[in-house]
Structure 1
């Protein structure tokens, strides 16, 4: 009697397991098909986006912003188009993976994947903010450098680098904000640092380099009034204007000797232009 009960229970248990396997198998097959379809579609999307971005010059645009040199310094062999294409294709793959997990009834994993799927658009938005910020920073860098060169400021590149650095820091802060990460402390620190640098620069220009600032301003006016090669005479100095520098100008005499005079001296005294 006991043997029959044990046999019946074992048989009943095996039938239960078999029933669960038979019931689960179609769902597993459908889930695998979903994953294969998702992998195929995401691969097609990745290749299409990568080639399309290359054709429209996306990588060239990023290289002009300095991304290529940055990646080389980090020893990362990847292009910007590959990053964008991979993120978007991964988004589609995760959607199919989410559907496959729902079919299998794995709600816990499904919830985790769902969270990741919702995070990817934020990551793309953060990347877009970074690209736009680096683009604006590069434009400002070039503009400040050209303006400094036209006005004869020798340290114009350093000023341009500072401007670009400030914009990049602000861009990184905005980019992190897109990821719903609290950056209030970082913003406060950067505000204090930028304010301190600005105050130090103002004090330096207002007190420590007051005379130099006057010479620089005088040089701007001199470039509007005179051209290199003009024959001029000021007090007892006579010759050809050879250089109008940031703080001083040079006059070449007939014997090809150079006389350096402050810009304010040339601006304040009577100049005879021949």
Structure 2
């Protein structure tokens, strides 16, 4: 009796495993097909988009813009290639784990796919902030040199830092990173430096400041 019960139980377990394998096999096949299609499309999409970006980079307006920013070229096609490739793969991986009903992995891939727009926005804002900071540095440096201001380098670096202080935290906020404490501290430090610089001119360098302002005025009149 006990032997019969054991055999029946074992047989039932084997049948259950067989049924599970039979039911799950089509899902595995579909998931593998999705991953394979994902690899193929990721390769194709990344190649197409990279060619498009490369053609835009080689256009005359973009080259002129890069030159005005002090760059030989923008050279962002490799970044776009990586983003398009892995974004496409993540979308198909997410679909594959959904088919396999792997809840934990599905939630993870869904979070990664949902994070990509924020990452792109942060990268765009950070890139524009860096370009703006470099442009501000060059403009201030050139203007100060034309005016023959002795502190041209200090003013140019200060302009770059100010732009980055406002731009980079905005990029970080797209990633839900709170840098307000760091930003406030940097702002206080920069303000303190500027205040000390002003006091040095006001208290100990009146003659120097007067001469600099006079030279600045005379040079601009010329």
Matched, 1:161 2:157: yes
Task: Please state whether the residue corresponding to 2:176 is helix, strand or coil.
Answer: coil
The CA deviation at 1:95 is: 1.4
Please give the alpha-carbon distance, in whole angstroms, between the structure 2 residues aligned to 1:40 and 1:156.
54
Higher relative contact order (Cα pairs below 8 Å, separated by 6+ residues)? 2
Unaligned runs of 5+ in 2: none
Query: Normalization by structure 1: what TM-score?
Result: 0.71
Please give the alpha-carbon distance, in whole angstroms, between the structure 2 residues aligned to 1:113 and 1:225.
63
Task: Please state whether the residue corresponding to 1:182 is helix, strand or coil.
Answer: coil
Q: Aligned runs of 1:144-155 on 2, under 5 Å?
A: 144-155=140-151
Task: Please state whether the residue corresponding to 1:214 is helix, strand or coil.
Answer: helix
Q: Aligned runs of 1:82-231 on 2, under 5 Å?
A: 82-223=78-219
Give a deviation string over 1:3-29, Cα, whole Å, max 9, x none.
Answer: 333333222211111110010000000
Report runs of 4+ in structure 1 exceeding 6 Å deviation.
Answer: 58-64
Please give the alpha-carbon distance, in whole angstroms, between the structure 2 residues aligned to 1:103 and 1:63.
50
The CA deviation at 1:66 is: 7.4
Conserved in 1, the CA contact under 8 Å of 2:165 and 2:187? no
Conserved in 2, the CA contact under 8 Å of 1:98 and 1:110? yes
When Rg is computed on C-alpha atoms for both structures, the one with the higher figure is 1
Query: Normalization by structure 2: what TM-score?
Result: 0.86
Conserved in 2, the CA contact under 8 Å of 1:126 and 1:178? yes
Question: Structure 1's 10 and 153: CA in aligned 2 closer, same or farther, altered over 3 A?
Answer: same
Question: Structure 1's 64 and 38: CA in aligned 2 closer, same or farther, altered over 3 A?
Answer: farther
Unaligned runs of 5+ in 1: 69-78, 227-274
Please give the alpha-carbon distance, in whole angstroms, between the structure 2 residues aligned to 1:175 and 1:62.
22
Conserved in 2, the CA contact under 8 Å of 1:127 and 1:175? yes
Please give the alpha-carbon distance, in whole angstroms, between the structure 2 residues aligned to 1:109 and 1:212.
67
Please give the alpha-carbon distance, in whole angstroms, between the structure 1 residues aligned to 2:215 and 2:180.
43
Residue matched to 2:3 = 3
Task: Please state whether the residue corresponding to 1:43 is helix, strand or coil.
Answer: helix
Greater share of helix: 2
Please give the alpha-carbon distance, in whole angstroms, between the structure 1 residues aligned to 2:70 and 2:78.
17
Please give the alpha-carbon distance, in whole angstroms, between the structure 1 residues aligned to 2:36 and 2:55.
29
